[in-house]
Amino acid sequence: MHPTFTRRDFVKLSSILAAALATQPVQALSVNDPWKTRRGNKQKVIIIGAGMSGLSAGMELRNLGHDVQIVEGQMRAGGRVFTARNMFADGLYADMGAARIPEDHEWTMKYVKQYGLELYPFNPAKGGLLHMVKGKKIRYTSNQPAPLKDYPFSLTPKEVAMDWAGISTQPFQSIMTQVGDARDLSWPPAAIAGYDKLTFKEFLVSEGYSPDIAGALMLGWEEAGEKGLYFSILEMVRETSLSFGATRNKIVGGNDLLPRALAKDLERLIQYGTKVLAVDQDETGVSVTVDRGGERSTLRADRVICTLPLPVLKKMDFVKTFSSSKQTAINNMGGWNLGRTAMQVRDRYWKKDGLTGFAATDLPSEIWDPHYESDANRGIIAHYVKGRDAGKFMTMSTEERLAFSANHVNSVFPGLKPQLEGAFIKVWGEDPWAGYAHAIGTPNDLTLHLPHLITAEGRIHFAGEHASAYHGWIQGAIESGNRTAKEVNSF
């Protein structure tokens, strides 16, 4: 979940959060944590999955002198950090998975800097941006938001008068002053844990506000209507407190350059095309049965780090050997299925009107130009499909998906169809190695399920964005990979 709040919208909220955080000890794993010295014996470690969590865990454990082996079912590393390349002309590319890197995500920035990768702002600083709500288009810029009164949201006159700064701070002041350190893996504090049962819109109603404030603050993500997206208010609170509206960046050349750099560094430790069939542990170690090229074999290790996404993990028979609380968490933690259509166009026609190609709508969806900084005529416009429509994508043919995305983009930026040359479409819910785009805290997940996703089961440790405070971010994958590496290193 990545709310469309801007830094301007969060000036007041950030000051509230800063005051709250200043009084809390930082207990979560930090890039400055002095754990990276050998604490125990050399461990033989099998890491299941070469996504960002598996790669980062493997990197740190190898550097500490442990015996590391990474098994990956696919023929590439990176997991849900995936950049589409060879299907476009003129060297164009599009990130089809993780697309944004906030500048305050310390773990991600550490590895970006370590491998000398160049960053560029994800969002343009100049040019026209669009919102579309109930068919009405509102133009604005990053420095000059359109007034709330211009939007057809169902708000009271008092709420409209509060404008963006007011609706993004006043409804949440009571809960934000008690947020504590949202990076702490034992979060939330007891004082606000009860809110986990409420959705975003239910929380607003309980505080005496209109539920459509959620539609305004999460335009591009939140669905219209009274019910809206089914996620806990604490998921939004945690996300907000962790990001502070920080500038989002992208890696020049594509975000998959990060996992590719790690994978190259670890190339002798990774076995691709290796599907895990079973995991069994006893008092002396762990056995991992794999299939590679139709040949089965059993690998033996002291410890295993499992980074499988939850929809994949829950299908594995060895999950039945876990504690009942772990099984319940794996089977019930919420997740989002998201789709993205990257359309190649002969001419980036929207630039003629001073527009950037960036928009957020109440479908809900986001639209953006991945190469907005380029002067080239040919380019890509990406359509990010969310909510119920991402589920609908699962039932559509490729032609129907493209027509759906093209029609919606054309309604925001008229003139697309004569310029459209083709598209690449990715729906994460149908990817057998992922099963969804990322985890999301639905009501009661953060208090009932997330703590059990993080904890080890004997000699098996668990990493991935789902087992972190940063759902849906590269940061969560890397932080959890380092956390499990620290756990293994302690033995």
For residue 93, tell me if it sits in a domain. Answer: no
Q: Residue 292: which CATH number? A: 3.50.50.60
Pair (447, 414) in one structural domain: no
Q: Which of 210, 225, 248 is the last residue of a domain?
A: 248
Pair (190, 271) in one structural domain: no
For residue 320, tell me if it sits in a domain. Answer: yes
Residue-wise pLDDT tens digits, 9-22 = 434 444 444 444 43
For residue 105, tell me if it sits in a domain. Answer: no
Residue 228 confidence class, pLDDT cut points 50, 70, 90:
low
Q: Which of 389, 405, 430 is the last residue of a domain?
A: 430
Pair (319, 346) in one structural domain: no
Q: Residue 356: which CATH number? A: 3.90.660.10
Over residues 449-478, the mean pLDDT reads: 97
Percent of the chain at pLDDT > 90 equals 84
Q: What is the pLDDT of residue 225?
A: 53
For residue 449, tell me if it sits in a domain. Answer: yes
Over residues 118-129, the mean pLDDT reads: 97
> What is the number of domains present in the chain?
3
Pair (283, 203) in one structural domain: no
Residue 462 in this model has a pLDDT that exceeds 70: yes
For residue 242, tell me if it sits in a domain. Answer: yes
For residue 418, tell me if it sits in a domain. Answer: yes
Q: What is the pLDDT of residue 386?
A: 84
Pair (366, 237) in one structural domain: no
Residue-wise pLDDT tens digits, 88-98 = 999 999 999 99
Query: Model's pTM, two decimal places?
Result: 0.93
For residue 132, tell me if it sits in a domain. Answer: no
Domain that holds residue 365: 119-124+338-430
Over residues 446-453, the mean pLDDT reads: 97
Pair (322, 447) in one structural domain: yes
Over residues 384-397, the mean pLDDT reads: 86
Crossing angle between the packed helical segments 474-489 and 106-114, to the nearest 10 degrees = 90
